[in-house]
Amino acid sequence: MNSLPIISLEKLKEIAPSGVKYQNREQQRLYDVCLEHGFFYLKDHGISTELVRTTIAASRNFFHLPEEIKKQYGQDKQTVYPNTCRGYIPLYGEMLNQKAGPDPKEIFDLGIERPSSNLPFTGRTVIPDETVAPNFASSHYQLQEEVLTKVIPHLLRGLAIALGYSSNWFDPYFDEPVIIHRVIYYPPEQSLAGKHTDLGMFTILFQEYFPTPSLRVYTKDAWIDAMCIEDALIINLGDMLQIWTNNLFVSTPHEVLHNLQQSRVSIPLFVYPNVDSVFVQMETGQTINITEIMLKKYNAIWVDKTGSGRARELK
C-alpha cells in the first residue's frame, strides 16, 4: 500500500493575500507532510505528459549511444565550476553512499543555460546537439522551463506560508535560482543509487511508470517503497531546507534499487537558491552562505568521497 501523501498544486495555488498563515487546507497539509515525511507526490502540476515522455525517450536514446561519444560530454569537458556539476558520468562514476560503493548507473547533469559567469554552479553546459542526440537537449530545456514557471514558484510560496511567512518570502532568494538538472539511466536488472539525502532546498523528480517501484524512502522510522503514480511528480526535501529551517523540515533519506528487466530513466531537478545569496537561519539567526554550503557538499561527494548529504548517518 502506498502511504505517501499526495498534494495538489492547483489547491496549493489558491492563496489569499500574503501575510496570513494557513490560508487553505492544502497549505496546512503541506506543513504536516513536510514535518512528517518530507516526501510527497505532486499532482495537478500542469506539466505535459507528452513532453515528459519525449524527454525520457530522448534520454534513453542518448544513454544508448557508444561510450566514446558520451564521454565527449564528460565532466572533464565542462567549463562550469565545479565541473562535477555538469556533464556525462559513466557507470560507477558517482558514489552517493560509501557503504553501497560506486553506483551502477549513468548520469547526465545540466543546468540553466545562462551565459557564463564567475559564479560557481552557473554557466553553459557542454551538451550533445540535435545531430548527436535528437530531442535530448531541447526536450530537457523545455521541461526545465515548465518546472521553473509552473512548479517552483508555487511550491516556494506554499512552503513560505507553511513556515508562517508571507507567500513571497522566498522570492528574493530565487530570482536566479540554481538548478542541477539531472537525468539518470539505470541499466536493467541490477542498478542502484545508494542511500543518501539530496543537497538542495527540494528535489522535483520525474520517474517512469513501472508497476514495481525502484525508489525507496525513509520516513516515519521505516524504509517504504515509493509506488509509481502516473503523471505525479515526486517532491522530496533536501539538506539546504533542513539547514534553513534549523532542522524543522528534515531532508528525506532515499535510495534506488532497480531490479527490473527494463532499464529505468529518472529526472531529478535539484533546486537551490541564487548561488550568491546569504540567508539567516530560523531560530538561531546564524548567517548561512549558499555558495559555501554547496561547495562543501559537492566536495564531500566528489573530493572526499564521503557520500551525498546525510549519507553517512543512514542505516
CB of 234 to ligand AKG, least distance (A): 8
Nearer to ligand AKG, 56 or 184 (CB): 184
Determine, following the binding rule CB under 6 A, whether residue 215 of this chain makes contact with ligand AKG.
yes
Contact 44, 9 (CB under 8 A): yes
Contact 216, 137 (CB under 8 A): no
Count of C-beta atoms within a 10 Å radius of residue 208: 17
Determine, following the binding rule CB under 5 A, whether residue 103 of this chain makes contact with Fe ion.
no
Strand partners, 289: 278
Q: Which stretch binds Fe ion (CB under 5 A): 47-55, 57-65, 124-132, 193-201?
A: 193-201
Place of cell 504536516: 32
CB of 94 to ligand AKG, least distance (A): 9
C-alpha 150/C-alpha 33 separation (Å) is 21
CB of 184 to ligand AKG, least distance (A): 5
Q: What is the DSSP letter of 149?
A: I
Determine, following the binding rule CB under 6 A, whether residue 198 of this chain makes contact with ligand AKG.
yes
CB of 198 to ligand AKG, least distance (A): 5
Name the binder of 137 from ligand AKG, Fe ion, none, CB < 5-8 A by kind.
Answer: none
CB of 97 to Fe ion, least distance (A): 11
> Is there a cis peptide before residue 82, judged by omega within 30 degrees of 0?
yes
Looking only at residues 286 through 315 of this chain, which bind ligand AKG when binding is defined by CB under 6 A? none
Q: Maximum distance among all alpha carbons in the chain? A: 56
Q: Going edge to edge, which strands form the sheet with 191-196?
A: 191-196, 254-258, 215-219, 222-225
Residues binding Fe ion (CB under 5 A)? 198
Residues binding ligand AKG (CB under 6 A)? 182, 184, 193, 198, 205, 207, 215, 254, 256, 266, 268
